[in-house]
Structure 1
Amino acid sequence: MSSILSTEQLGHSFNDTWLFKDLTLGLAKGQRFALVGYNGAGKSTLLKILAGKLAPVLGKVVQERDIKIGYLEQDPDFAGQKTVGDFIYSADNTQQLLIRRYEELLEQEHPDEDLLQELTTEISEQNAWEYEHAIKTILDRLSINKPDQLIGSLSGGQRKRLALAKLLIDDPDVFILDEPTNHLDIEMIEWLESFLTTGKKTILMVTHDRYFLDNVCTQIYELEFGKLYVYRGNYSYFLEKKAEREAENATALQKNTNLLKKELEWMRRQPQARGTKSKSRIDAFYELEDKTKNQNNKSRVELSITVARQGNKILELEHVNKAFNGVTIINDFNYVFKKGDRIGIAGRNGSGKSTLLNLITGKFSPDTGQIIKGETTIYGYYSQGGLSFKENERVLDIVKNVAEYIPMADGKTISASQLLTHFLFPPSKQYGMVSKLSGGEKKRLHLMRVLMTNPNFLILDEPTNDLDIDTLNVLEEFLEKFTGVLLVVSHDRYLMDKLSDQLFIFEGAGHIRIYSGNYSEYRYEKENIKTDAKPKEIQVKTAPLPVKNKLSYKEQKELDTLDEQIGKHEAMIASLNDRMLMLTDANELIAAANEVSALKEKLEEMTIRWMELSE
């Protein structure tokens, strides 16, 4: 399958530090790849290079002639456009301009009938009615309904949704998406899943949303320590294969470490004037040293902060009402929080979720009703707004402003600097300015500050934005063991399912429904209600699912052969892994590792084909 977008020996560095070197990837038409990796691995940088927004230090990007690339960046650039309509409707697109004039005319109280008829005729002649419907659907689904609104007045979330809408309307040959689900509510995300998987769209995206990733992407690129690993399956398949690779790496690391010691002794014994015969061994030593160093540097965030004691009375909301500018946001809401409550908050953007959190924490006061907080209740509030800091503040100062020493769950006390190291902030970052941190690093620092207060009532407002999947997994492990009350607002369905057993659902007009169960259970129940409500005659008319044909003789023979070949490849890999444990020569070890890598790539291809035929 030929690539329509690919790289050749791509390399990029910042401040003399290489993010990646000799990187090779290819996107064929119809492939949907996700790019995963830890914060700082270079994912967003790689997307910018592929989109033509950044020139690589080494290598080049090759693209098929005349293909159109659409790029959604984390902080969209609106190129001086003033209004939403200016940005959405391209000046060089005749169909879009006709549709814009038509929509603007319809918004007038007394539209010119002759002009309306003229535009209607032109749209028909341009075969643009279907296009008009598609544009309207995209804008409605992403809640973009004010074409005259100034872009400068939009919030960060609205700007991201506007950029996404424009990209979907333009329908490029390749979609390059950096965190497309940020600032979308769950209904928008579910619609976007359906949109991206309809037709043979070519996609490369970075996302932390695991359900979205699993439902949209069929292959995974993992960027780790400057290398790219390919997994030919969805996210669930990637997790399984990554676990296998890391187990093998742990064995190889021990072997490499022992071999490195021997090689180091040999290097130290060498005279200054080394002969040409030893050059290959010296090169192999440095390669081995680099491999060992990279493996040892892989760290994890450790969360083990203490939880303050909680009394019987935690928090009570009695007949709470809140409105803004005459619009009811919360209407007569009652709830008594209990020990061990784990509640997810769901609802459309702007329905009032953050308002409820601000009422609970005392930032807002209710119009009527009362909120009674227990004496021992200590809030930890991770807000969407993030950290507030001065440009000249150091990372270490941000932590010391809360406490110099922090009690841990095991009873020990650690310094602010040690806690920062736990959260993967090395000394070079600790003494640097907060303003220099990446978006993900600022989020991690904000989370750490919240946990330092030893809360027993933890409130998380969209905690997954800008965090890598590895950090999210560790955060989830911590939250699963958290003994206090947990209140989570998130568009991440995976997180909601894992951490909540009850929901506050904002249904509109200020009504909040209390639902016992997680988000997937709620959606399942909702879909069943929709199905039951359909008239019987409509259900009868629904077309049956197409029945897949049986395998042809040739396909059946291929399937039988694949069974045998997969077994042989697995045996060869196992044999080579055993052999690597016995090798002491660096060159032989590297050759064997390369052979294993090639065999695994072939095995993955055969496994995918076997799955296709088996289904």
Structure 2
Amino acid sequence: MNYISAEQLTKSYGVKFLFKDISFNINEGDKIALVAKNGSGKSTLLKIILGREIADGGEVIVNKDIQVVLFDQEISFDGEDSIEEFMMKLDSAPINALRNYHQSLYSTDTKFIEEALAEMEIYKAWDLENEMKQILSQLKINDLSVKMGMLSGGQIKRVALAKLLTETRAEHRHTLLIMDEPTNHLDVEMVEWLENYLSKEKITLLLVTHDRYFLDSVCDIIWELEDQKLYVHNGSYATYLENKMIREENLSATIDKANNLYRKELEWMRRQPKARTTKSKSRIEAFYETEKVAKTNTSKESLELNFEMKRLGKKILELRDISKKYGNTIILDDFSYQFQRGEKVGIIGKNGVGKSTLLNIIQGLENYDKGEIETGETIRFGYFSQKGLQYKEDERVIDFIREISDNFPLANGKTISASQFLRLFLFDDQTQYSLISKLSGGEKRRLHLMYVLYQNPNFLIFDEPTNDLDLPTLTILENFLAQFQGTVAIVSHDRYFMDRIVSHVLAFEGNGKVKDFTGNFSEYRQYKSQQEKAGISETEKIAEEKPQTQKSKKRLSYKEQRELEQIDKRLPEKEAQRQIVMEQLNNETDYEKITLLSEKLEALTSEIEMMEIRWLELQAVLED
């Protein structure tokens, strides 16, 4: 069944075309991801499909038997409504039955009560109510009596998401669900639940997301909006990247051929007299077509910046026995960690456990109750927060960046201009001279990111950096961080991003306890899964370690005592990691991956052996 078809859609703002003559179909059961850089027309295309905006040309045909519902970043609500009242503001027979039933609970009218109960049976509203509560529970919304006006921004988004999913279940009509960045403000557990829910449900979906694992799990079609065209890719995100690479290589080859022909034809054009024959006029027309192809701009500048970072000293940053509470809620309980040069640390945990608090404590932006922090003298923080960009209404993009400096220093002694740096972050010349206030939300987020990096920090701190960033910008950021020689601390729910960037995880596990794990996000999750299967709880491990720690306090120096504690703590993790790598190696068939895994296994084995030798040395001190 066809839901929506579009023919020859064109849309522009002034002289800037977002897309030209694009056509597409959405059929029942399709799960489509829309991929494009911010400012290229994603939101406009969604608005045209929704009927909220009109295209300059072309036609959108929406099947009269379907409804289109949207999960948007902008949510309207009455602050005095409870969560339950907000959820009930839907116009469908099952929801109406639910609403009447709840009213009947406070009624003495026997007929009204009987009718309400009958409606609940007819429309199977009992099932819907259970599903609604399950969805809310999975999104960590449990008290439905709380007023909407008392919720945080993230909680409001989660309630709105629950309402949308309930609406699609309540309606018996065919529904197209349009979702704009649904994973923002969700922790990893919520993201994985939503991923599983959308994958299994018979939902027709058009999705905008920066989360590549989520995209791969949920969607089987990718729409790529680029250079005013719409390309359709069937398959995974990897298939899309491969198709895109082949297309760009073919285009580059075509342009090279056109350039060679253009140079020859240009010589002919210069030799021609003013009087033209019919044959020469035809050749002239062909020349101008060749010129157009030859001058096609395919320059996709890649971010390969080995920049001149402010020097890092030996001491980076060390936290010793840090404790922090909000009322009776323990955020950190005797937390210690020493950041190393070049280390990229991912900080994970459920919403509200204290991840952002830790970032603030690291930077000295928030006080702690006890403990000590030692920060290296050469440290210069760069903080990419969720608060957004602060700018003047009449300020242009280029001027905003030039306030820091006209040039950006590179390690080879050269510099690049502010304008060149902006181009590396996908701001073309026209956009650079636009007012910041005219940028899209995603473009402002990208400018904020660039502003932080342009200040040349040596300790980068990111709080949910992937929210509202498009996939091209995320790729740029990942490439930048891969080359970055300084220290990085990241709070993010984006599993793909964390797997690609971080090599160390600090996991908030509740009640102030933070797990220190060497490896990326997926390796940590696999380690936790193995621990749970083996029936080894953290409580048991701590209980086993305590007598040894107490004994060491009497006979080892403070430094040796801490070293022994770290070995006792990290040796089981390393052994678990080695087991994971061995399993991956046994199941792998790709030669390059086998080579990489073999090298990783060798390094882990060597590290474990060194730790075991040192453990024996420290134990010998205790026994003397």
Pick the TM interval, shorter chain.
0.7 to 0.9
- In 1, the alpha carbon distance for the partners of 2:356 and 2:146 equals 23
What is the SS of the residue equivalent to 2:70?
Answer: strand
1:287 deviates by 5.3
The amino acid of 1:386's aligned partner reads: G
1:371 deviates by 1.9
Q: Is the alpha carbon distance of 1:25 and 1:372 closer, same or farther for their aligned partners in structure 2, counting shifts above 3 Å? A: same
Q: Is the alpha carbon distance of 1:91 and 1:206 closer, same or farther for their aligned partners in structure 2, counting shifts above 3 Å? A: closer
1:525 deviates by 2.9
CA RMSD of aligned residues (A): 3.3
Answering whether residue 181 of structure 2 is matched by residue 179 of structure 1, we say: yes
Deviates more, 1:477-486 or 1:189-198: 477-486
* Equivalent residues of 1:253, 1:295 under 8 A apart: no
Answering whether residue 500 of structure 2 is matched by residue 498 of structure 1, we say: yes
What is the SS of the residue equivalent to 2:66?
Answer: coil
Which residue in the other structure is 2:28 paired with? 29
What is the SS of the residue equivalent to 1:455?
Answer: coil
The amino acid of 1:454's aligned partner reads: N
Structure 1 residue corresponding to 2:125, chosen from 115, 121, 128: 128
What is the SS of the residue equivalent to 1:390?
Answer: coil
Which residue in the other structure is 2:89 paired with? 90
* Equivalent residues of 1:37, 1:223 under 8 A apart: yes
1:33-57 superposed Cα distances (whole Å, 9 cap, x missing partner): 2121223221222122112222111
Answering whether residue 365 of structure 2 is matched by residue 363 of structure 1, we say: yes
Which residue in the other structure is 2:55 paired with? 56
- In 2, the alpha carbon distance for the partners of 1:330 and 1:117 equals 54
Q: Is the alpha carbon distance of 1:439 and 1:516 closer, same or farther for their aligned partners in structure 2, counting shifts above 3 Å? A: same
1:359 deviates by 0.8
* Equivalent residues of 2:305, 2:410 under 8 A apart: no
* Equivalent residues of 2:303, 2:479 under 8 A apart: no
Deviates more, 1:438-447 or 1:409-418: 409-418
- In 1, the alpha carbon distance for the partners of 2:384 and 2:51 equals 35
- In 1, the alpha carbon distance for the partners of 2:96 and 2:327 equals 35
1:149 deviates by 4.6
* Equivalent residues of 2:79, 2:148 under 8 A apart: no
1:439 deviates by 2.1
1:85 deviates by 3.6
Count of residue pairs the alignment pairs up: 530
Which residue in the other structure is 1:328 paired with? 330
1:79 deviates by 9.0
The amino acid of 2:234's aligned partner reads: R
- In 2, the alpha carbon distance for the partners of 1:250 and 1:141 equals 48
Q: Is the alpha carbon distance of 1:319 and 1:451 closer, same or farther for their aligned partners in structure 2, counting shifts above 3 Å? A: same
* Equivalent residues of 2:78, 2:149 under 8 A apart: no
- In 2, the alpha carbon distance for the partners of 1:352 and 1:263 equals 67
Which residue in the other structure is 2:601 paired with? none
1:197 deviates by 0.9
Structure 1 residue corresponding to 2:522, chosen from 514, 520, 536: 520
- In 2, the alpha carbon distance for the partners of 1:350 and 1:103 equals 32
Q: How does 1:419-438 map to 2 (within 5 A)?
A: 419-438=421-440
Which residue in the other structure is 2:485 paired with? 483
Deviates more, 1:261-270 or 1:206-215: 261-270
Structure 2 residue corresponding to 1:143, chosen from 137, 140, 144: 140
Which residue in the other structure is 1:393 paired with? 395
Q: How does 1:94-133 map to 2 (within 5 A)?
A: 94-99=93-98, 123-133=120-130
Deviates more, 1:387-396 or 1:79-88: 79-88
Q: Is the alpha carbon distance of 1:6 and 1:290 closer, same or farther for their aligned partners in structure 2, counting shifts above 3 Å? A: farther
Which residue in the other structure is 1:229 paired with? 231
1:527-572 superposed Cα distances (whole Å, 9 cap, x missing partner): 34455569xxxxxxxxxxxxxxxxxxxxxxxxxxxxxxxxxxxxxx
Which residue in the other structure is 1:18 paired with? 17
Q: How does 1:199-598 map to 2 (within 5 A)?
A: 199-262=201-264, 288-301=290-303, 303-531=305-533
Deviates more, 1:374-383 or 1:152-161: 152-161
- In 1, the alpha carbon distance for the partners of 2:502 and 2:260 equals 46
* Equivalent residues of 1:342, 1:487 under 8 A apart: yes
Residue ranges of structure 1 left out of the alignment (5+ in a row): 535-615
Q: Is the alpha carbon distance of 1:426 and 1:473 closer, same or farther for their aligned partners in structure 2, counting shifts above 3 Å? A: closer
Structure 1 residue corresponding to 2:200, chosen from 190, 198, 201: 198
1:473-531 superposed Cα distances (whole Å, 9 cap, x missing partner): 22212211222211111111011111112211112222222122211112223334455
Q: Is the alpha carbon distance of 1:104 and 1:531 closer, same or farther for their aligned partners in structure 2, counting shifts above 3 Å? A: farther
What is the SS of the residue equivalent to 1:309?
Answer: coil
* Equivalent residues of 2:317, 2:338 under 8 A apart: yes
Deviates more, 1:116-125 or 1:232-241: 116-125
1:64-120 superposed Cα distances (whole Å, 9 cap, x missing partner): 2220112223334559995544432235334224545767999x9xx99x9999966
- In 2, the alpha carbon distance for the partners of 1:426 and 1:527 equals 46
The amino acid of 2:130's aligned partner reads: H
Task: Among all aligned residue pairs of Structure 1 and Structure 2, give the percentage whose two residues are the same amino acid.
Answer: 48
What is the SS of the residue equivalent to 2:200?
Answer: coil
- In 1, the alpha carbon distance for the partners of 2:141 and 2:400 equals 38
Which residue in the other structure is 2:40 paired with? 41
* Equivalent residues of 2:301, 2:423 under 8 A apart: no
Residue ranges of structure 2 left out of the alignment (5+ in a row): 169-173, 537-624
1:164 deviates by 2.2
- In 1, the alpha carbon distance for the partners of 2:457 and 2:188 equals 28
* Equivalent residues of 1:301, 1:471 under 8 A apart: no
- In 1, the alpha carbon distance for the partners of 2:167 and 2:504 equals 40
Q: Is the alpha carbon distance of 1:160 and 1:287 closer, same or farther for their aligned partners in structure 2, counting shifts above 3 Å? A: farther
* Equivalent residues of 1:395, 1:430 under 8 A apart: yes
- In 2, the alpha carbon distance for the partners of 1:252 and 1:162 equals 51
What is the SS of the residue equivalent to 1:24?
Answer: strand
Which residue in the other structure is 1:551 paired with? none
Q: Is the alpha carbon distance of 1:272 and 1:467 closer, same or farther for their aligned partners in structure 2, counting shifts above 3 Å? A: farther
